Amino acid sequence: MHETAKRIRNVALVGHRGSGKTTLNEALLFQAGAVSRLGSVTEGTTVSDSALDEKARGMSIASSLATFRWDERKINLIDTPGEPSFVADALAALRVCEGAVFVVNGVMGVEVNTVRLWERAEELNLSRLLFVNMLDRERADFFRVLDGLKASFGPHVVATEIPIGSEQELRGVVDLVDMKAYEYSGDGRDNCAEIPIPGALRELAEEYRDKLMDEVAEVSDELMERYLEGEEISHEETVAALKSGVTEGRLFPVTCGVAARNLATNRLLDALVEDLPSPARKGPVRAGETTLEPVEDADTIAFVFKTLADPFAGRINLFRVYQGVLEGDSVMVNCRAHAKERIGQLLVPRGKEMSQADEFGPGDIGAVAKLKETRAGDVLASADRELTLSLPTPPAPVMAFAIEAKAKGDEDKVFTALRRLQEEDPTIDLHRDAQTGEQIVAGLSQVHVEVIVGRLRERFGVEVELRPPRVPYQETIKASAKAHGRYKKQTGGRGQFGDCHIEVEPLPHGAGFEFVNAIKGGVIPTGFIPAVEKGILEAMAHGTVAGCPVKDVKVRLYDGSYHSVDSSEMAFKVAGSMAFKEAMENASPVLLEPIMTVVVAVPEDTVGDVIGDLNGRRGRPLGMEQKGSMQAVRAEVPMAEMLAYAPDLRSITGGRGEYSLEFARYEEVPSHLAQKVVAAAAEDEAVKA
C-alpha cells in the first residue's frame, strides 16, 4: 500500500562542504529510529557515505536517499554532496523535492556553495529551512551567522529557535513559536527535556520572538492589520501563517543544533513535518504544456533523477512519481527512447541498504533496478507522450586531462567504464579531440577527476594515466601569395601529369575555407577541379609553421594545364597540395591559439590577487560584476595558460573561488612563444619518427 501525497515530505539536505549534512542525516535517521546507532563521518560508519572513496575522503561524493517515518509521515531525505565538484547531485535532488534544509556551519556561516545552491533553490521555487549546525565548536556564534544569512538571503530569513549557551557550554534551544525551552543531555533518542526559559535569555527570546512575529504577520494582509493594531495572534494562526509563508517561499525559518551530539534534531524533524509542504500542499507541477497533479487516478508519470552504476546490481535508477501510482511488475514507457520498460521489483533505499515495495503513489520517491534504456533525466509514463521534465543544467567541466589505459588493450574497457560513470554523473565530459586525437576526460575540478580515476580502479578494475591535454593550435596566413604546383611523373607506359596555379588570401577569423574555381577555357577539365580542392584540403590539415590545421583561407584556382592521356585525379590532387604548401610559405603564415573567456567568482578580498594572476597569464580583464556575496571577474585568457589553473586559484582564494571556461576565438600567438610551440612540435615529430 502506498503513502498518500499529503503524508509525504521530500527533503534535500544541502549546503557547503563541511557544514555537517551527512552527520545531520545520520542523526535524523537515528532520532527517527531508522538506524540503531549514531554513525560518524570520521569513523566512516554513516548510512549515506557508504562508498570507499567517500569514507577515505570524509565527504559525500554522491547523493544518498533514505526513507523513514516521523510523526506518522513518510520522509524521503536526500543527503547531497557539498563539494562543488559533485554539485550535479545536489541540483538533481532540488529538482524532485518540495523542501530543502540548508545546513550552515556555525563557525564559518554563509559559504560560497550555500549561496550558489540558494540561488538554484530560488529558481525552482523551493520551500527552505535553515539549520545552523556545529554550535558547540570554538568561535561558533549563532547570532553572527543569523546576521550573515539575512545579509545574503534577505530579511525573510528569520529565527524560529535560539540556542541556550554557546560553544562548549551549548546545552539546548528556545523554541520561539511556542516560547518553550529544551535541554539536551547525552546523544540518546530521549535526550530532550523541557525546562523553563533561563532568566538570562528571557529578554533576548522576547526580542527574537517579536522579529519572528513581524515576519509571520506579513504573510497575510488580514494578520498584518490585526498585528499592527496590537491584537494577539493565536498559536494556531501563527503556526498556519508560518507554514503558508514557508510553502510559498516567502519565509525561511532558521533552526539550530549540533548534529554530532543529536542536539535538537528532534526539533528539526518536527519542523520538516510542520513547516515544509507535502507534494499535495505544494500542488501541481508544470512540465512544459502539461500540468502534473499529485493524484492517484491519473496516468502514471515518474521522473528519474539519479542513476547509480552498481558493479553488482547493475544500474539502479532513483525516481520521483509526479502523478498516478507506479506498481512493481508493470510496464512503463521511456518517453525519450519511446521504448517499453519492464518495471520489476521496486526498492526503498536507505543509503546502500534496499528494502522492497509493491508500489509508489504520487509525490513519492523510490528506486528500481535493471531497466534497459532508462537513466537520469528520463521520464517514465504509462503511455508514450511528450513531457518536458529535465534535470537542472550543471556547470560545465573545466578541468580536462588526456586519458589513456595503462595496460595495452584496455582502451575499450576504460571507455565502457567511463560511460557507466557518466550515467551516474552527467558532469563528466568524455570526448575525443578531433585535432590532437587524444581521449579527453573533463570534470569540475582536480578532486572530481581524481575521484573518477579512483572509481575506474575500484569499481571496474582499470588503471589509467592522466596527462594535461595538448592545446589545439591552428595556423593561418596574413598576406596573399601565388604559387604553381606541377606534378609530373614519367615511367614506362602511362605517366602522371597535373598542373595548377593558385592564389591564397586570408579570410576573416572564423570564416573557415573558401575555394573559388576561376578556370577559364577548360585549361583544367571540370572533372579534375574537385581533385585540386581535395589536395589543398589535405595540405591544410598540416600547416607549414608547426604542422597544425590551417584555417580562414581563400584559395582561387585560376590557371593550369593538363595532358589528355597522363592527367588523373591523383595527379591534380598532388599538384593542388604542392601549390598550397608553396603559397602558404610565402603568405606570412602564423600560429593561432585558442582564447578562452573565463569567469572567476571570488570573494571581494581576493579580487586584486586574482586579477594580478590572470594578467600574469596573458589575460585581458573584461570587467566585474557582483554575484551574491562574490565578485565575478571576466577575462579573456589563452587556453595554454589555463591548463593548470584550478590548484592555483584554490591557493589564491583559500578554496573559495570557482571558475568556468568557454571558448571565445583564435588569436595569433606572440612570436617569442610561437617559437617554443614550433620547437615542441618538431621534437614530437622527431620522437614519432
Choose the most confident range, by mean pLDDT, from 160-164, 185-189, 409-413, 470-474: 160-164
CA angle 551, 555, 557 (to 5 degrees): 160
528-to-186, 499, 534, 560, 603 alpha-carbon distances in Å: 90, 11, 10, 11, 63
**Exposure on the CB side of residue 683, measured as CA atoms within 13 A:** 6
Residue closest to 308 by CA, chosen among 375, 379, 359, 390: 375
Distance CA 425, CA 53 (A): 15
Q: What is the mean pLDDT of the chain?
A: 89
Buried b (16+ CB within 10 A) or exposed e, 29-46: bbbbebbeebbebeeeeb
Q: Given a cut of 70, is residue 311 above it in pLDDT?
A: no
Cell matching residue 385: 507522450
Measuring CA to CA, which residue among 3, 9, 68, 70 is closest to residue 34? 68
* Paired residues of 64 in beta bridges: 79
Mean pLDDT in residue range 641-660: 84
For residues 516 and 523, give the distance between their C-alpha atoms in angstroms, rounded to a whole number.
Answer: 15
Cα radius of gyration rounded to whole Å, the chain = 32
- For residue 258, give the C-alpha cell: 549540533
| Residue 585: strand, helix, or coil | helix
Domains along the chain with CATH numbers: 5-282 (3.40.50.300), 285-381 (2.40.30.10), 399-467 (3.30.70.870), 475-587 (3.30.230.10), 594-673 (3.30.70.240)
* 59 pLDDT above the threshold of 80: no
659 torsion bin: left (phi>0), alpha (psi -120 to 50), beta (else): beta
Helices (H), 275-365: 279-282
Lookup: cell for 180 = 518553550
Among 562, 346, 542, smallest CA distance to 435 is for 542
348-351 own/partner pairs: CB under 8 Å, 24+ apart: 348/67, 349/64, 349/65, 349/66, 349/67, 349/318, 350/29, 350/34, 350/35, 350/47, 350/65, 350/66, 350/67, 350/68, 351/46, 351/47, 351/48, 351/50, 351/64, 351/66
Model confidence pLDDT, tens digit, residues 96-128: 999 999 999 999 998 878 888 998 899 899 999
Cell 588523373 locates to 568
User: Which pLDDT score is estimated for 581?
Assistant: 96
Query: What mean pLDDT do residues 163-177 have?
Result: 94
pTM for this model (two decimals): 0.77
Report pLDDT digits (tens) over 547-562.
Answer: 889 999 999 999 999 9
Average confidence (pLDDT) over 629-647: 87
DSSP state of 511: -
Q: Above 80 in pLDDT, residue 590?
A: yes
120 within 8 A of 88, measured Cβ to Cβ = no
Sorted by sequence, the CB contacts under 8 Å of residue 675 that are 6+ apart come out as none
Q: How far apart are CA 30 and CA 36, in angstroms?
A: 6
Pick from 494, 568, 483: which is nearest to 524 by CA? 568
Identify the residue whose cell numbers are 508519470: 301
Nearest-angstrom CA–CA distance, 100 and 414: 37
pLDDT tens, 594-611?
Answer: 899 999 988 889 999 999
pLDDT digits (tens, 9 = 90+) for 257-278: 999 999 999 999 999 999 999 9
Mean pLDDT calculated for residue range 534-538: 95
At 492, is the pLDDT very low, low, confident or very high (cuts 50, 70, 90)?
Answer: low
In a 3-state reduction of DSSP, which class is residue 281?
helix
pLDDT at 69 (0 to 100): 93
Distance between CA atoms of 202 and 325, rounded to whole angstroms? 50
Q: What are phi and psi of 165, to 5 degrees?
A: 85, 170
Q: CA 11 to CA 249: how far, in whole Å?
A: 15
Reference 285, options 390, 367, 375; nearest CA is: 390
Q: How many residues does the chain have?
A: 689
Per the model's pLDDT, the better-predicted residue between 52 and 154 turns out to be 154
3-state secondary structure of 533: helix
| Other residues' Cβ atoms within 10 Å of the Cβ of residue 104 | 27
Give yes or no for a contact between 609 and 651, defined as CB atoms under 8 angstroms apart. no
Element holding 489 (H helix, E strand):
strand 481-489
Q: What is the pLDDT of residue 115?
A: 84
What distance lies between CA 106 and its chain's CA centroid?
26
Residue-wise burial string across 600-615, b where 16 or more C-beta atoms lie within 10 A, e elsewhere: bbbbeebbeebbebbe
pLDDT in tens, 36-58: 888 777 777 777 666 666 766 67
| pLDDT number for residue 1 | 66
E strand or H helix at 342, and its extent? strand 339-343
Phi, psi of 549 (to 5 degrees): -60, 145
Are 370 and 344 a contacting pair, CB within 8 Å? yes
Q: Mention every residue, 6+ apart, whose C-beta is less than 8 A from residue 522.
A: none
Is pLDDT above 80 for 210? yes
Which amino acid is located at 120 in the chain? R
What is the reported pLDDT for 688? 67
- What pLDDT score does 415 carry? 87
Q: What is the pLDDT of residue 197?
A: 95
Q: What is the dihedral of CA 278, 377, 307, 58, to 10 degrees?
A: -70
